[in-house]
Amino acid sequence: MKKKLLKFFNAIKSRNGEYLNELRNDHEFFKREITNNLEGMTKRLYKHYKYFSLDYVKRIIGHFKDDALLSNPWCMRYIESEFLILNNQIDLIKRLKLNGFDLKNRTVLEIGCANGCLLFACSKSGAKKLVGIDISQTRLKNAREFLGEKLLKKKVELLLIDIFSQDLPYDKSSFEVIFSTNVLEHVQSTHDYFGRIKKYLSDKTEGCFALTSVCNKYNISSILAEPHYGIPGLILLNRKEASNIWYSERKKLFSNLDYEVFDWFLYEEYQNIAFSQGLETFPLLDKYSVDSIDAHLKNYKDFADKYYIMAIDKLTNLCLIKSNNDILAGAIKKYFDEFIKDHTEEEVTPQRKVYLYLKYYAFVLEIITMHKSDSLQSASFSPG
């Protein structure tokens, strides 16, 4: 085993030893990780360092306090998720193409482009023109660093713009494709979000669409740990209650944070909001994803009981302020009562299975949006 660990260490050291040493010296957390899990750490660095610079790694880690990094495993999972984004975005583009949505020669806007991974994936899929906007100067710096001068000069434009308070330097209906991933929950008005989609999404070219991805409010993973702050049950609360808890508890985890979370909704609620703005939506699904819940449907009661206990245990171990703990525990109990009711009150037809999948089992909601005049029949998923 020792020889195997040395082999991994030497492999990374020979290619970028300075990078590894700087990481090792920069944070106590990395000292411990490298010492205790040398193989796993070197594998991760070997896989990702060529895409992300040392400064980028430090900026991501810098969101968290050192004691939180050491004591809360969720923090490390959050950091690792930053490095998995590129693979996830490439997979998203592939699935879109399989469902008839090709980006070749398309003009693309990304709202909340962050580190530029989706723009990179779109460029590899043949998009003609790419515009990425973000409200964070730091995120745009990361994107410029990641994309590189060649791509930026050729077909990518990055803009520091808040699309909800500023107009883009483009005409209405300028973009054939609009992306927004993991942004919608940070928007103060979901109605305004879909209004902006309608404004900038072209209605002149056939097959224009927007794709919005957002973590599913009722997925069990979101209940066990809200995707941004890791607090069980937080995602279930209304904005006022959740904000009070965010502000009182986040100080334990974060040293700085340049975004806030506002509202989460269920798929049907997003669908209704989009419709009120003159848009139609449908979920990006495949039959295999929906059928994957069959085993859970047969044992839904055991599933609910097990995860209820797990959620309450996690909540207790976080040692939150008692009033916060009581609010969250009540929300979790109400959620599992609704879970049981939804699984027992109706026969599970194919259509009902899609409903349950979108409400409880899909980890991420991927919502295709088009102008009402466009036909959705050719691309929509039918479970029948």
User: Residue 176: which of 104, 87, 115, 247 has the closest Cα?
Assistant: 104
Q: Give the Å distances, CA to CA, from 328 to 72, 128, 222, 225, 335.
A: 19, 47, 13, 11, 11
Query: Is residue 225 very low, low, confident or very high in pLDDT (cuts 50, 70, 90)?
Result: confident
Q: For residues 293 and 264, what is the distance between their CA atoms, to the nearest angstrom?
A: 23
Q: For residues 199 and 268, what is the distance between their CA atoms, to the nearest angstrom?
A: 22
291 within 8 A of 308, measured Cβ to Cβ: no
HSE-CB of 317 using CA atoms within 13 angstroms:
13
Average per-residue pLDDT for the chain: 80
Q: Mind listing the pLDDT tens digit for each residue in 36-50?
A: 554 454 455 445 545
Q: Please tell me the total number of residues recorded for the chain in this structure.
A: 384
Q: Which amino acid is at 384?
A: G
Q: For residues 326 and 315, what is the distance between their CA atoms, to the nearest angstrom?
A: 10
**Averaged pLDDT for residues 350-373:** 94
Domain range 105-384, its CATH number among 3.40.1390.10, 3.40.50.10300, 3.40.50.150, 3.40.718.10: 3.40.50.150
User: What pLDDT is recorded for position 178?
Assistant: 98
Sequence ranges of the chain with CATH classification 3.40.50.150: 105-384
Reply yes or no on whether the pLDDT at 58 is more than 90. Answer: no
Can you tell me whether residue 304 is helix, strand or coil?
Answer: helix
Reply yes or no on whether the pLDDT at 25 is more than 90. Answer: no
User: What pLDDT is recorded for position 51?
Assistant: 53
Q: Percentage of the chain with pLDDT > 90?
A: 50
User: What pLDDT is recorded for position 139?
Assistant: 86
Reply yes or no on whether the pLDDT at 5 is more than 50. Answer: no
Q: Mind listing the pLDDT tens digit for each residue in 9-19?
A: 455 445 445 54
Q: Mind listing the pLDDT tens digit for each residue in 87-115?
A: 788 889 999 999 999 999 999 999 999 88
Reply yes or no on whether the pLDDT at 256 is more than 60. Answer: no
R_g of the chain computed on alpha carbons: 22
Q: Which of 185-189, 190-194, 323-327, 334-338 shows the lowest per-residue confidence on average (mean pLDDT)?
A: 185-189
User: What pLDDT is recorded for position 53?
Assistant: 54
Element holding 15 (H helix, E strand):
helix 2-26
User: What pLDDT is recorded for position 246?
Assistant: 75
284 within 8 A of 368, measured Cβ to Cβ: yes
Q: For residues 48 and 62, what is the distance between their CA atoms, to the nearest angstrom?
A: 18
Q: For residues 216 and 363, what is the distance between their CA atoms, to the nearest angstrom?
A: 5
Q: For residues 48 and 27, what is the distance between their CA atoms, to the nearest angstrom?
A: 18
